[in-house]
Structure 1
Amino acid sequence: MTFADDQVNAASAFAHTMIVVDDEPIADPAEAETITKTQTPGRRDAKEASSAPDQPVAEPERKTTHLLDAKALIKSALDLGLVCSVVNPSGDEDNVAKGVARASIRADIISLDWHMHGDDDGDLACEIIAEILRNDAAIGGRLRLIAIYTGNNNEEKILGQIEARLNDRKDQNTEVVRMGQVLTNETGLRLVWRQKAMLNEKLEGAVSEAQLPQELLAEFAKLSSGLLSNVALATISAMRDTTHHVLSKFSEALDGPFFHHRALLENPSESMDYAVSIVISALKSEVNKSEIAERFTTTDAVRRRLQAMANGSDDFTLRYLKGDQEKEFNFCLDDIEAIIEHGHEKWPEDLRKVAEARKQNASNPKPTKEGFKKYFSTVFSESRDAATDAMMHFSFLTNSRSSELSLVHRKVLPKLELGSVVFSEKLGYLLCLQATCDAVRGDGLFFFVPLVAATASPEIVVPHKCKEGKPNYIGLQVPPKCYTKSLSLNFGTIDSKIGRIPVNFDEQNGVFQVLDAEKNEYRWLANLKYKRALRIAQNVSQQMSRIGFDEFEPFK
Structure 2
Amino acid sequence: MTFSEDQYKAASSFAYTMIVVDDEPIAEALEKAPTTTVRKPGRKDSAAAKHAPKDKPPTDAKHSHPLDAKGLIKSALDLGLVCSVVNPTGDEVNIPKSVSQAAVRADIVSLDWHMNKGDEGNLASEIIKQILIADEKSGGRLRLIAIYTGNKDRKSILEAIAKRLNSAKQLKQKVTHNGETVTNTTGLRIVWREKRMGNKRLKSALSEAELPKELLREFAKLSNGLLSNVALATISSMRDTTHHVLSKFSAELDGPFFHHRSLLENNTDSMDYAVSIVMSTLKSEVNKSKVISNHATPEAIKRRLDAMPQSPEKFVLHYLNNNKKLKKFTLNSEDVITLIEEGFKKWNATKKDDALKRQDNKQESPVPSKDQFNKNFSTLFSDSLEAAESNMHEFSFLTNSATSEISSVHKETPPRLGLGSVMYSKKDGYFLCLQATCDTVRGTGSFFFIPLDTTTTGSPDIVVPHGEEQHKIKLVALSVPSRSYTKSRAVNFGSIEPSVGYVPIKYNRRDKGYFVTDSKKVRYRWLANLKYKRALRIAQNMTQEITRIGFDEFEPFRSK
Q: Normalization by structure 2: what TM-score? A: 0.92
Query: Would the alpha carbon gap of residues 179 and 459 (structure 1) be closer, same or farther in structure 2, given more than 3 Å must change?
Result: farther
Query: Would the alpha carbon gap of residues 297 and 213 (structure 1) be closer, same or farther in structure 2, given more than 3 Å must change?
Result: same
Q: Which residue of 2 aligns with 1:57?
A: none
Query: Would the alpha carbon gap of residues 235 and 187 (structure 1) be closer, same or farther in structure 2, given more than 3 Å must change?
Result: same
- Structure 2 CA distance for aligned equivalents of residues 283 and 197 of structure 1: 44
Which residues in structure 2 correspond to 1:367-382 (within 5 Å)?
367-382=368-383
**Greater CA drift, 385-394 or 112-121:** 112-121
- Structure 2 CA distance for aligned equivalents of residues 30 and 187 of structure 1: 38
Of the candidates 473, 497, 500, which is equivalent to residue 498 of structure 1? 500
SS of 1:348's partner is helix
Q: Is the 8 A contact 2:61 2:117 kept in 1?
A: no
Read off the aligned partner of 2:460 and give its amino acid letter.
P
Q: Which residue of 1 aligns with 2:138?
A: 139
SS of 2:305's partner is helix
Q: CA offsets per residue over residues 447-493 of structure 1, 9 Å max, x none?
A: 00011123211111111232122222222111111101100000111
- Structure 2 CA distance for aligned equivalents of residues 327 and 247 of structure 1: 56
Q: Is the 8 A contact 2:62 2:117 kept in 1?
A: no
SS of 1:343's partner is helix
Q: Which residue of 2 aligns with 1:5?
A: 5
Q: Is the 8 A contact 1:37 1:62 kept in 2?
A: no
Read off the aligned partner of 1:158 and give its amino acid letter.
I
**Greater CA drift, 92-101 or 521-530:** 92-101
Q: Which residue of 2 aligns with 1:99?
A: 98
Matched, 1:212 2:214: no
Read off the aligned partner of 2:544 and give its amino acid letter.
Q
1:288 Cα deviation from its structure 2 partner: 1.1
1:226 Cα deviation from its structure 2 partner: 0.1
Read off the aligned partner of 1:381 and give its amino acid letter.
S
Query: Would the alpha carbon gap of residues 225 and 444 (structure 1) be closer, same or farther in structure 2, given more than 3 Å must change?
Result: same
Corresponding residue pairs, total:
538
- Structure 1 CA distance for aligned equivalents of residues 521 and 338 of structure 2: 57
Query: Would the alpha carbon gap of residues 5 and 382 (structure 1) be closer, same or farther in structure 2, given more than 3 Å must change?
Result: same
Read off the aligned partner of 1:453 and give its amino acid letter.
T
Which residues in structure 2 correspond to 1:15-54 (within 5 Å)?
15-29=15-29, 37=36
SS of 2:205's partner is coil
Query: Would the alpha carbon gap of residues 31 and 87 (structure 1) be closer, same or farther in structure 2, given more than 3 Å must change?
Result: farther
Q: Is the 8 A contact 2:515 2:525 kept in 1?
A: yes
1:32 Cα deviation from its structure 2 partner: 7.8
- Structure 2 CA distance for aligned equivalents of residues 402 and 390 of structure 1: 19
Read off the aligned partner of 2:69 and give its amino acid letter.
A
Which residues in structure 2 correspond to 1:279-298 (within 5 Å)?
279-298=278-297
Matched, 1:433 2:443: no
**Greater CA drift, 217-226 or 171-180:** 171-180
Q: Which residue of 2 aligns with 1:259?
A: 258
Read off the aligned partner of 2:350 and give its amino acid letter.
D
Q: Which residue of 2 aligns with 1:45?
A: none
- Structure 1 CA distance for aligned equivalents of residues 274 and 298 of structure 2: 39
Of the candidates 533, 536, 548, which is equivalent to residue 535 of structure 2? 533
1:92 Cα deviation from its structure 2 partner: 3.3
Q: Which residue of 2 aligns with 1:46?
A: none
- Structure 1 CA distance for aligned equivalents of residues 146 and 309 of structure 2: 29
- Structure 2 CA distance for aligned equivalents of residues 29 and 531 of structure 1: 59
Query: Would the alpha carbon gap of residues 177 and 263 (structure 1) be closer, same or farther in structure 2, given more than 3 Å must change?
Result: same
Query: Would the alpha carbon gap of residues 192 and 36 (structure 1) be closer, same or farther in structure 2, given more than 3 Å must change?
Result: closer
1:128 Cα deviation from its structure 2 partner: 0.7
Q: CA offsets per residue over residues 174-209 of structure 1, 9 Å max, x none?
A: 112224511112332111111111121211321111
- Structure 1 CA distance for aligned equivalents of residues 29 and 399 of structure 2: 54
Q: Which residue of 1 aligns with 2:45?
A: none
1:292 Cα deviation from its structure 2 partner: 0.5
Query: Would the alpha carbon gap of residues 514 and 335 (structure 1) be closer, same or farther in structure 2, given more than 3 Å must change?
Result: same
Q: Is the 8 A contact 1:69 1:199 kept in 2?
A: no
**Greater CA drift, 438-447 or 317-326:** 317-326
1:142 Cα deviation from its structure 2 partner: 1.2
Query: Would the alpha carbon gap of residues 62 and 125 (structure 1) be closer, same or farther in structure 2, given more than 3 Å must change?
Result: closer
Q: Is the 8 A contact 1:74 1:84 kept in 2?
A: yes
1:441 Cα deviation from its structure 2 partner: 2.1
Read off the aligned partner of 1:477 and give its amino acid letter.
S
Q: Is the 8 A contact 2:140 2:186 kept in 1?
A: yes
Read off the aligned partner of 1:197 and give its amino acid letter.
R
Q: CA offsets per residue over residues 39-91 of structure 1, 9 Å max, x none?
A: xxxxxxxxxx9xx9xxxxxxxx9953101111111111111111111111133
Which residues in structure 2 correspond to 1:225-304 (within 5 Å)?
225-304=224-303
1:353 Cα deviation from its structure 2 partner: 3.0
1:362 Cα deviation from its structure 2 partner: 5.7
1:551 Cα deviation from its structure 2 partner: 3.2
- Structure 2 CA distance for aligned equivalents of residues 392 and 332 of structure 1: 26
1:513 Cα deviation from its structure 2 partner: 1.3
1:373 Cα deviation from its structure 2 partner: 1.4
- Structure 1 CA distance for aligned equivalents of residues 141 and 449 of structure 2: 35
Q: CA offsets per residue over residues 266-297 of structure 1, 9 Å max, x none?
A: 11111111111110001000001111111101
Query: Would the alpha carbon gap of residues 179 and 460 (structure 1) be closer, same or farther in structure 2, given more than 3 Å must change?
Result: farther
- Structure 2 CA distance for aligned equivalents of residues 488 and 22 of structure 1: 62
Read off the aligned partner of 1:347 and give its amino acid letter.
W
- Structure 2 CA distance for aligned equivalents of residues 516 and 285 of structure 1: 41
SS of 1:20's partner is strand
Q: CA offsets per residue over residues 230-256 of structure 1, 9 Å max, x none?
A: 000000000011000000000011111
Matched, 1:484 2:483: no
Q: Which residue of 1 aligns with 2:64?
A: 65
Q: Which residue of 1 aligns with 2:512?
A: 510
Q: Over the residues paired in the alignment, what is the CA RMSD in angstroms?
A: 2.3
**Greater CA drift, 121-130 or 182-191:** 182-191
- Structure 1 CA distance for aligned equivalents of residues 368 and 454 of structure 2: 27
Read off the aligned partner of 1:8 and give its amino acid letter.
Y
Q: Is the 8 A contact 1:239 1:287 kept in 2?
A: yes
- Percent of counterpart pairs with the same letter? 57
**Greater CA drift, 423-432 or 545-554:** 545-554
- Structure 2 CA distance for aligned equivalents of residues 74 and 65 of structure 1: 20
Unpaired runs of at least 5, structure 2: 38-47, 52-59
- Structure 2 CA distance for aligned equivalents of residues 185 and 94 of structure 1: 30
Q: Is the 8 A contact 1:243 1:283 kept in 2?
A: yes
